A and B are shown apart, each in its own frame.
Chain A
Amino acid sequence: MTTCVPHKQGEPARRRESWFLVSARGDRFITPRSPVEGLSRRKLSFLPVFAQAVAAVAPAGAMAVIPALVFPALVFGSTGPNLVLTFGAAMAVMVLVSFCLRPMAKRMAAVSGLYSYTAKGLGQRTAITVGWSAMFGYGLVAMASLLAVGTYVVQLLINLRVAIPDPRLLAILVILAAAAAACRLMVRGIQISALVTFSVESISIGVLAVLMIVYFAFNAPKVSFASVFVWNGNFDSLSIGIVVAVSAFVGFESPTTLGGEAYRPFVSVPRAITWTPIVTGVLFLLAATVEDVALNDAPLNIAASSTPLSDLFSQTSPVFAAVLDLGIAASWFACAIASVNALARIFFCMGREGVAPRIVGRTHPSFRTPSMAIMVVMPVVAIVPIAVIISGASPEQGLVNLFTLGAYGYLGAYVLASASMPFFLRRIGEDTYASWILGAATFLVLGAVLWQAASVSIHTGNPQTFVYGGVLIASVLYAMFLRLRLPERLASVGIYDETREIDLFPGKPVP
């Protein structure tokens, strides 16, 4: 299907991009052309890969926001959930998921993460649902991140006592600027954007840690630390708390979209997805402990605020609070980049497969990034938070809604991708009893979490479950449409960075 545009002498032949019949079925041992040609291949070292995972989780931002979400989502006070226990359980669930994803990451250099894993496991139609679900998750978290960037930058200026004529206009401008900067960084290449995100994230975690220590140095807690670990026996609030806490970890799987670009992907990607839930989990546990103590002390209005930590600090010093806001805003900025990075790569693969507009399968000729997918996605991601601000809805509520909705997307993708693992292994003849047990257990645990979230949400009359349910149904219908009308496109779902001749012995000649 390759058509060569006639070219002038001396000018390299430019292939018109058409990947209609790319093989995802492995009908040859080694395919002559990679279906994901055009991306820079095997260049990223471990640090940017790990950075992608950490940034997508946005631990600094989540540390500041999520525990606060766990609190007001429930009744704050004596019957509140035990933050540490809640986060511990959420961490265990996520480690389980990472154990399910790891065997697949060790075997397949995926460019579209869970989407292509599922295509090889539970099949191409399920993969469409996972792909949509994951894109929905990444997209909403990216939107929420931009909204958070806007909110925290405005908050920062307020804390610094800067007179702002119109905070909403400023927030919109900040979001636009952040979106433009993120877009530029991502098109320039994952190397640069990942390094930016990683340094930003490390700095914000450092800032948070230092500020927390300083805060406690100035404000000795009245509540003893032991009270943090007291279990109040409330299972209901615990399970709901776990659902929210799980959403703090989502994004850790995003390096699975870098299989093609990572150097030694079968080492770095599994390593990144194994360690990210553990590292961020430990950070969350520390933050939860500290915040539990601090917020227990704090007046109720602060505990229920959308920016509880910075409100807490601004009691002590506005400069503290401003520094904290800057760190958190930076963390969310990194999260927006990481989420769109992952989203764009899934979209890019869909474009190459023909199950999304083919144009998004274009890569940048010199930066070798999925630039078209990035540029198509970014405006959509930027418009929603702006719309939230213009609509006059409270940013807090907007953040909560976007994050929770996004978490549904991730959880849905996790459930199906985890269930895919044993099938994936069986398909390549490498399944073990352990893989079936692990796959089933993770599927059940995650299913329970998702069920819990859905039932609570329906119970409280929140339309989120229906929105996500609508996305799922639409994806199933689309997959059915593909099966009936465009079966050859559906069959090409599941492309990944296949082994090339250069990866084989003798490969590149040794000097």
Chain B
Amino acid sequence: MTYRPGNPGPSTASNSLRILEIVARFGTGTTAKEITDALQMPPATAYRMLNALVGDEYLARTSDLRGFALGHALSGLITAATPPTVPTAARILIEEFRSGNRFAVHLIMFRNASLRIADEDPDYPLQSPFEMPRYPHASAAGKLMLAELGHSASPLPGGPLMKLTQHTITDRGQLEEQLAEIRFKGEASEINELAQGSASLALPVRLSDGSVGAALCLSGPAERFTAICEHTEAARELTSRLAPFLF
């Protein structure tokens, strides 16, 4: 059983989220009264929480000051958490490419400095779909993203880097060197770093301004890495055709 207080009082965090949900459902202009009615909350508590949410810009007041709307500070959460949608035209291009080779082909998008699996190869599913976004330093797509973000926006946690296999790069200096090389070459690779026995190659899908917004990943057995690399040119050509559909 989860803990629930006797009355719904100021049990802060979850009530804040409920308020956000109400505003998201009712839409721009939802009033404090509507929120307190919907949540059966004491008004003074609701006002306090609303002001706190407005203060942190998770909510914004409408021009008459009565109503609320979702604030820009939610963008980070929503963008990072929402699975990206891939247009059918892009899926068809990727599907065509998949039929022409014997490796797994995945499309990974970069959302708010995190990796999101946009299109997974149905025939060769990702071996570690949860570990890959969590440990960007260990995957080809992740390293491509880290190289793109540079130092300032690095999403890597402060502590020591997780060692997933004995080949995972855990030394930050060594990682930085590799990121510089990735930036120079415009491609990233990983052999046995994310999972023992597998390797992958990631190629950037660029926005019109040249920045990288997604990675096209080719994965296969580690010993077949050179064979994977033979597809580099074809994959590169695919990324430039994909870009207009994705961004």
Residues in chain A within 8 A of chain B (CB atoms): 23, 25-31, 103, 106-108, 120, 264, 266-267, 270, 427-430, 432, 434, 498-499, 502-511
Q: Please state if A106 and B44 are interface contacts (CB–CB under 8 Å).
A: no
Alpha-carbon distance between A498 and B62 when the two chains are bound, in angstroms: 8
Determine the chain B residues whose CB is within 8 A of the CB of A505 once the complex forms: 69-72, 74-75, 78
Q: How far is the CB of B91 from chain A (nearest CB, A)?
A: 23
Q: A429-B31, A432-B44, A510-B76 are in contact. Are A503 and B62 (CB under 8 A)?
A: no
Determine the chain A residues whose CB is within 8 A of the CB of B80 once the complex forms: 510
Q: Please state if A511 and B70 are interface contacts (CB–CB under 8 Å).
A: no
Q: Please state if A26 and B69 are interface contacts (CB–CB under 8 Å).
A: no
Alpha-carbon distance between A428 and B68 when the two chains are bound, in angstroms: 11
Q: Please state if B63 and A503 are interface contacts (CB–CB under 8 Å).
A: no
Determine the chain A residues whose CB is within 8 A of the CB of B76 once the complex forms: 510
Q: Please state if A30 and B28 are interface contacts (CB–CB under 8 Å).
A: yes
Q: Which of B54, B72, B74 contacts A266 (CB 8 A)?
A: B54
Of B29, B63, B149, B211, most buried by chain A (CB within 10 Å of CB) is B63
Q: Please state if A510 and B65 are interface contacts (CB–CB under 8 Å).
A: no
Determine the chain B residues whose CB is within 8 A of the CB of A502 once the complex forms: 72
The reply on B32 being an interface residue by CB < 8 A is yes
Q: How far is the CB of B238 from chain A (nearest CB, A)?
A: 24
Determine the chain A residues whose CB is within 8 A of the CB of B60 once the complex forms: 499, 503-504
Alpha-carbon distance between A498 and B69 when the two chains are bound, in angstroms: 13
Alpha-carbon distance between A28 and B28 when the two chains are bound, in angstroms: 11
- B47-62, CB < 8 A from A: 47, 51, 54-57, 60-62
Q: Please state if A499 and B55 are interface contacts (CB–CB under 8 Å).
A: no
Q: Please state if A504 and B71 are interface contacts (CB–CB under 8 Å).
A: yes
Alpha-carbon distance between A429 and B43 when the two chains are bound, in angstroms: 10
The reply on B237 being an interface residue by CB < 8 A is no
Determine the chain A residues whose CB is within 8 A of the CB of B74 once the complex forms: 505
The reply on B98 being an interface residue by CB < 8 A is no
Q: Which of B32, B65, B113 contacts A26 (CB 8 A)?
A: B65
Q: Please state if A511 and B112 are interface contacts (CB–CB under 8 Å).
A: yes
Alpha-carbon distance between A30 and B112 when the two chains are bound, in angstroms: 26
Q: Please state if A504 and B32 are interface contacts (CB–CB under 8 Å).
A: no
Determine the chain A residues whose CB is within 8 A of the CB of B57 once the complex forms: 264, 266, 503
Alpha-carbon distance between A508 and B112 when the two chains are bound, in angstroms: 12
Determine the chain A residues whose CB is within 8 A of the CB of B44 once the complex forms: 432, 434
Q: How far is the CB of A504 from chain B (nearest CB, A)?
A: 5
Determine the chain A residues whose CB is within 8 A of the CB of B31 once the complex forms: 429
Q: A267-B56, A503-B60, A503-B72 are in contact. Are A428 and B29 (CB under 8 A)?
A: no
Determine the chain B residues whose CB is within 8 A of the CB of A23 once the complex forms: 63
Q: Scoring B residues 63 to 88 as 1 if CB is less than 8 Å from chain A, else 0, what string do you get? A: 11111011110111011100000000
Q: Please state if B75 and A506 are interface contacts (CB–CB under 8 Å).
A: yes
Determine the chain B residues whose CB is within 8 A of the CB of A504 once the complex forms: 28, 60, 69-72
| Main DSSP-derived SS at the B contact region | mixed
Of A107, A267, A430, most buried by chain B (CB within 10 Å of CB) is A430
Q: A432-B43, A504-B69, A510-B79 are in contact. Are A26 and B55 (CB under 8 A)?
A: no
Q: A511-B113, A511-B153 are in contact. Are A29 and B29 (CB under 8 A)?
A: yes
Q: Which of A26, A106, A270 contacts B62 (CB 8 A)?
A: A26
Closest 3 CB pairs of A and B: A507-B72, A26-B64, A505-B70
Q: Please state if B67 and A29 are interface contacts (CB–CB under 8 Å).
A: yes
The reply on B33 being an interface residue by CB < 8 A is yes
- B165-208, CB < 8 A from A: none
Q: Please state if A28 and B78 are interface contacts (CB–CB under 8 Å).
A: no
Of A264, A499, A509, most buried by chain B (CB within 10 Å of CB) is A499
Alpha-carbon distance between A508 and B62 when the two chains are bound, in angstroms: 18
Of B66, B67, B70, B72, most buried by chain A (CB within 10 Å of CB) is B72
Determine the chain A residues whose CB is within 8 A of the CB of B111 once the complex forms: 510
Determine the chain B residues whose CB is within 8 A of the CB of A432 once the complex forms: 43-44, 47
Which residue of the partner chain A has the closest CB to B58?
A505
Q: Please state if B62 and A30 are interface contacts (CB–CB under 8 Å).
A: yes
Q: Which of B33, B55, B56, B71 contacts A429 (CB 8 A)?
A: B33
Q: Please state if B72 and A31 are interface contacts (CB–CB under 8 Å).
A: no
Determine the chain A residues whose CB is within 8 A of the CB of B67 once the complex forms: 29
Q: Please state if B63 and A428 are interface contacts (CB–CB under 8 Å).
A: no
Q: How far is the CB of A500 from chain B (nearest CB, A)?
A: 9
Of B43, B47, B149, B211, most buried by chain A (CB within 10 Å of CB) is B47
Between-chain CB contacts (< 8 Å), 30 pairs: A23-B63, A29-B28, A29-B63, A29-B64, A29-B69, A30-B69, A106-B51, A107-B61, A108-B61, A120-B65, A266-B51, A428-B65, A428-B66, A432-B43, A499-B60, A504-B70, A504-B72, A505-B70, A506-B72, A507-B71, A507-B72, A507-B75, A509-B75, A510-B75, A510-B76, A510-B111, A511-B110, A511-B113, A511-B153, A511-B211
Q: Which of B55, B65, B69, B113 contacts A267 (CB 8 A)?
A: B55
Of B61, B76, B79, most buried by chain A (CB within 10 Å of CB) is B61
Q: Please state if B54 and A506 are interface contacts (CB–CB under 8 Å).
A: no
Q: Please state if B69 and A499 are interface contacts (CB–CB under 8 Å).
A: yes
Q: How far is the CB of A245 from chain B (nearest CB, A)?
A: 31
Alpha-carbon distance between A106 and B76 when the two chains are bound, in angstroms: 23
Q: Please state if B66 and A429 are interface contacts (CB–CB under 8 Å).
A: yes
Determine the chain B residues whose CB is within 8 A of the CB of A434 once the complex forms: 44
Which residue of the partner chain B has the closest CB to A28?
B63
Q: Which of A31, A267, A270 contacts B63 (CB 8 A)?
A: A31
Alpha-carbon distance between A296 and B55 when the two chains are bound, in angstroms: 48
